């Protein structure tokens, strides 16, 4: 379970992470995004087309209880996380496209996340308090706006804020390891294998579908790597924050299990995928044309 102190720390970290995301943006980014609807389409399709469908299939087929199913669905419906930008950089992907997809999925998420969640939860006859989720998402846009203002007022302050937000997204994983896991160790030992499989498979299937979608669209290899990482890496801290501020007690513990385990394992799987991407011979790759795609 998440105590009051952990909730306060979690809220602060989420605020800084979203602040960093906002600091990476300028109004020009949105103008460029609108001029390249192809990139917007890929971002929205990957995050709110493929991932929720994967989550629904996992929740339907795995032998888990209803609260675990809700956790799988919430994790699957999250936007891309800033962690994906870091792995895209190290995998020699298209960082501009990665940031665009992250931002697009986050902004559109205020509308699309409740819609997709209600749709799939209804299909599984699960009850999700969508009002609390909508309120949390709207509040999270505030630090994004503040970050954009900081970037506009002072580029250096914006750059530092952006760096701190990305760094804190990684530190968040360490926070879970030293805080949440030890206090919920008994629960993790007694939960079914389906919980672990759902947490790990969600990211892996996202990588595969994202990469396959890119190949189908005949994207440049750098962009294909980017879409694969952006699709598989969801915003785990955001999912945990939504659950912490929506549920309580043992129910919150169970719903939060998949997002927590996902956040831990996605770092491992993303690192392995990044190492594989870097081993690919890119000597014959043509330079990216002008633009994101």
State yes or no: pLDDT of 232 exceeds 90.
yes
- Phi-psi bin for 291: left (phi > 0), alpha (psi -120 to 50), beta? left
In the predicted structure, residue 30 carries a pLDDT above the cut 70: no
Q: Are 175 and 241 in contact (CB under 8 A)?
A: no
pLDDT at 152: 79
Compute the average pLDDT of residues 285-290.
61
Looking at residue 2, what is its pLDDT? 56
Instruction: Evaluate whether residue 286 is within a structural domain.
Output: no
CATH number for the domain including 270? Answer: 1.20.1530.20
Q: Which comes out higher in pLDDT, residue 257 or 288?
A: 257
Greater model confidence, 266 or 41: 266
Give the domain range for residue 138: 4-274
pLDDT tens, 84-138?
Answer: 878 888 888 887 788 778 877 877 887 888 889 889 988 888 878 777 777 777 7
pLDDT tier for residue 158 given thresholds of 50, 70 and 90: confident
Mean per-residue pLDDT for 21-36?
69
In a domain, residue 207? The reply is yes
- The tokens for 72 are 């799988």
Whole-number pLDDT of residue 74: 93
Phi, psi of 80 (to 5 degrees): -70, 150
Give the 3-state secondary structure of residue 154.
Answer: coil
Q: How confident is the model at residue 34 (pLDDT cuts 50, 70, 90)?
A: low
Higher pLDDT, 242 or 276: 276
Residue predicted with more confidence, 76 or 36: 76
**Range of 2-6, 61-65, 133-137, 219-223 with top mean pLDDT:** 61-65
Neighbours of 287 (CB within 10 A): 7
Domain count, the chain: 1
> Is 284 domain-assigned?
no
Q: Exposure of 146 by Cβ count < 10 A (0-12 exposed, 13-18 middle, 19+ buried)?
A: middle
Q: Would you call 282 helix, strand, or coil by DSSP?
A: coil
For residues 241 and 117, the model is more confident at 117
User: What is the tens place of the pLDDT at every residue in 245-259?
Assistant: 787 777 877 888 899
pLDDT of residue 36: 66
Is 292 among the domain residues? no
Q: Tell me, yes or no, whether 291 lies in a domain.
A: no
Residue 113: predicted pLDDT: 87
User: Is residue 288 one of the residues assigned to a domain?
Assistant: no
pLDDT top residue among 38 and 118? 118
Residue 227 within any structural domain of the chain:
yes
Rounded CA-CA distance 232/210 in Å is 7
pLDDT at 6 over 70: no
Listed in sequence order, the DSSP H helices in the chain are 4-23, 27-35, 37-45, 51-61, 66-76, 83-90, 95-123, 130-153, 155-175, 181-183, 185-190, 193-216, 221-232, 236-244, 249-279
CA within 13 Å, CB half, 16: 17
8 pLDDT exceeds 60?
Answer: yes
Phi–psi pair at 234, nearest 5 degrees: -100, 170
Within a domain: residue 218? yes
């Amino acid at each position: 379970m998440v105590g009051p102190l952990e909730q306060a720390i979690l809220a602060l970290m989420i605020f800084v992470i979203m602040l960093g995301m906002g600091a990476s943006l300028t109004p020009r980014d949105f103008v460029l995004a609108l001029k390249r609807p192809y990139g917007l389409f890929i971002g929205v399709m990957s995050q709110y087309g493929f991932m929720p469908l994967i989550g629904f299939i996992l929740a339907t087929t795995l032998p888990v209880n209803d609260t675990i199913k809700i956790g799988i669905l919430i994790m699957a419906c999250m936007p891309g996380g800033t962690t994906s930008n870091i792995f895209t950089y190290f995998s020699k992907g298209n960082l501009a496209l990665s940031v665009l997809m992250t931002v697009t999925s986050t902004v559109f998420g205020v509308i699309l996340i409740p819609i997709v969640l209600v749709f799939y939860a209804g299909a599984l006859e699960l009850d999700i308090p969508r009002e609390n989720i909508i309120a949390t998402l709207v509040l999270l846009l505030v630090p994004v706006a503040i970050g954009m203002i900081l970037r506009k007022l002072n580029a250096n302050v914006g750059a530092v804020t952006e760096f701190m937000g990305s760094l804190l997204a990684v530190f968040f994983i360490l926070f879970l390891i030293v805080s949440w896991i030890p206090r919920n160790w008994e629960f993790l030992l007694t939960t079914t294998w389906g919980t672990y499989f759902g947490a790990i498979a969600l990211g892996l299937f996202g990588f595969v579908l994202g990469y396959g979608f890119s190949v189908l669209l005949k994207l440049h290899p750098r962009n294909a790597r980017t879409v694969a990482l952006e699709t598989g890496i969801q915003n785990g801290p955001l999912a945990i924050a939504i659950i912490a501020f929506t549920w309580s007690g043992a129910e919150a513990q169970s719903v939060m299990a998949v997002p927590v385990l996902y956040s831990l394992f996605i770092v491992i799987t993303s690192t392995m995928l990044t190492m594989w991407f870097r081993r690919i011979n890119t000597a014959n790759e043509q330079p990216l044309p002008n633009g994101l795609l």
